[in-house]
């Protein structure tokens, strides 16, 4: 683009009889520029051209990531980005894919290999649903995956929930299976790990319970880079491998049976020759310099929950009602589940425990000892006796609580007695 001052100078020097070559040298422009402007009567004006963004531009990052991970055809990518909203022509995409493939082919690709004991990768995999004959209900199946980066030793375990408690249990069992754990573990942006992901991992808000877990063992949790799925390729490849080589074509009657078969298959899979390392994962596991769990107590993965005790001396847990001693009615108690047991405490003192009811819902689980003496407290005040209808209501309440003791013969009292007892329970 020639400036107005330059055009003016060209005209001036031309009128002085200077040759095009010398004008170009004096002004510092190309000879062609001088030639094209020496005879123009009007100062050149240029319209600013606005470069419209390509319709393909919003999808270029997605296309590049896909081609870095898989050698897909332009037609396959065209179908994918059409579903994402691309409305441009196929030819525009095809030219871009062809150019990008040439660039990727010319780049020197070095496979990232971790050192022994350096890193493991963790993720969840979804495996649909099944009817569990033990639980007598339909459940969703989620599989916990952990793979050691150096040896490629794999651990899997199936759960009916992909929550934080199961997530931590999966870690503990994987550590026991491997005999230790790596110095860092790589995660995707899972809610069990990070509540709010920032561009820089250190600026993210981590789950406090998970931070306690990682701190207890002393490993460093590392987050995948956003929009870079290939950074955890080892564990993602493992998910597909398990689906194709274990899960497909098998039938299971329960989660327990599923994990039993998975354990047998897992031991066999870790004895195969790995396609990448050309060695058996179990053989390379011997060279992993893992942080040992020997003589170390495993982290308590049970999540403590808090429940308010109703005036009927029961609290609600997973759609059932469990009793506590009547003195704790109206109090808030701590409830911890361990396997098939519920442990209830108040101010760090255990006050009750129950077998967890896993088959039925809406059921009252009552221990008669928890209500022992409650009837005497309720009837210990000398006030005029209640009406027959009111007496029947009290009796019905005791039956609902599964109070199976024989009701002693007592004087009939006014219902104000029961109201005062209720106030005592609340206090």
Beta carbons within 8 Å of 106's beta carbon, 6+ residues apart: none
Q: How far apart are the first and last CA of the chain?
A: 89
Q: What percent of the chain has pLDDT over 90?
A: 35
- Region 239-259: mean pLDDT is 91
Q: What percent of the chain has pLDDT over 70?
A: 77
Nearest alpha carbon to residue 163 among 355, 344, 343, 337? 337
Q: What is the pLDDT of residues 318-356, one digit of tens each?
A: 889 999 999 899 999 989 888 788 999 998 889 999 998
Q: What is the pLDDT of residues 27-78, one digit of tens each?
A: 888 888 888 888 876 666 655 555 667 888 889 888 988 887 777 888 889 9
- Region 288-307: mean pLDDT is 88
pLDDT the model gives residue 264: 95
Specify the 3-state DSSP secondary structure of 323: strand
Q: How confident is the model at residue 156 (pLDDT cuts 50, 70, 90)?
A: very high
- Rounded Cα distance, 44 and 37, in Å: 8
pLDDT the model gives residue 109: 42
pLDDT the model gives residue 154: 97
Which pTM was predicted? Answer: 0.54
DSSP string of 270-314, one letter each residue:
TTSPPTTTSS-HHHHHTT--PEE-TT-PPP--PPEEEEEPPTTSE
User: Is the domain 119-292 a CATH 3.30.420.10 member?
Assistant: yes
Q: How confident is the model at residue 410 (pLDDT cuts 50, 70, 90)?
A: very low
Lowest mean pLDDT among 15-29, 33-47, 388-402: 388-402
CATH topology of domain 1-50: Arc Repressor Mutant, subunit A (1.10.10)
Lowest mean pLDDT among 151-155, 201-205, 356-360: 201-205
Q: Which residues pair with 181 in a beta bridge?
A: 291
- Rounded Cα distance, 4 and 94, in Å: 43
Q: Where are the domains of the chain?
A: 1-50, 57-106, 119-292, 304-370, 371-426
- Rounded Cα distance, 335 and 167, in Å: 20
- Rounded Cα distance, 7 and 316, in Å: 89
pLDDT the model gives residue 189: 76
Nearest alpha carbon to residue 156 among 133, 130, 123, 182? 123
- Region 397-417: mean pLDDT is 50
């Amino acid at each position: 683009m020639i400036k107005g001052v330059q055009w003016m100078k060209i005209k001036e020097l031309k009128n002085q009889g200077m040759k095009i070559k010398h004008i170009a040298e004096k002004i510092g422009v190309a000879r062609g520029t001088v030639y094209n402007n020496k005879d123009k009567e009007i100062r050149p004006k240029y319209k600013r051209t606005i470069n419209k963004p390509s319709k393909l531009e919003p999808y270029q990052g997605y296309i590049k990531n896909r081609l870095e991970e898989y050698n897909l055809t332009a037609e396959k990518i065209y179908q994918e980005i059409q579903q994402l909203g691309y409305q441009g022509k196929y030819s525009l995409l095809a030219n871009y894919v062809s150019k990008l493939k040439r660039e990727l082919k010319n780049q020197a690709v070095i496979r990232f290999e971790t050192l022994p004991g350096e890193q493991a990768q963790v993720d969840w995999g979804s495996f649909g649903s099944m009817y569990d004959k033990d639980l007598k209900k339909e459940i969703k199946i989620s599989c916990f995956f952990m793979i050691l980066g150096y040896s490629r030793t794999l651990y899997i375990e199936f759960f009916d929930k992909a929550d934080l408690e199961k997530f931590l249990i999966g870690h503990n069992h994987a550590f026991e299976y491997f005999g230790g754990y790596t110095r860092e573990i790589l995660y995707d942006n899972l809610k069990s790990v990070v509540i709010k992901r920032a561009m820089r991992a250190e600026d993210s808000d981590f789950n406090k319970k998970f931070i306690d877990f990682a701190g207890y063992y002393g490993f460093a949790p590392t987050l995948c880079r956003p929009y870079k799925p290939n950074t955890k390729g080892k564990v993602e490849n493992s998910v597909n491998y398990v689906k194709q080589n274990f899960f497909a074509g098998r039938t299971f009657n329960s989660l327990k049976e599923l994990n039993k078969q998975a354990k047998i298959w897992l031991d066999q899979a870790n004895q195969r020759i790995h396609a990448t390392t050309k060695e058996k994962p179990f053989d390379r596991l011997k060279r992993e310099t893992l942080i040992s769990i020997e003589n170390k107590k495993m982290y308590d993965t049970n999540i403590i929950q808090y429940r308010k005790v109703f005036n009927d001396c029961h609290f609600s847990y997973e759609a059932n009602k469990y009793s506590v001693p009547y003195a704790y009615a109206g109090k808030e108690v701590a409830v911890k589940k361990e396997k098939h047991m519920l442990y209830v405490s108040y101010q760090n003192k255990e006050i009750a425990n129950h077998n967890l009811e896993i088959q039925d819902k809406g059921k009252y689980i009552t221990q008669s000892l928890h209500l022992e003496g409650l009837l005497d407290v309720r009837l210990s005040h000398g006030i005029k006796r209640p009406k027959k209808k009111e007496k029947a209501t009290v009796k019905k309440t005791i039956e609902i609580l599964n109070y199976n003791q024989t009701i002693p013969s007592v004087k009939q009292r006014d219902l104000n007695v029961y109201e005062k007892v209720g106030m005592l329970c609340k206090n």
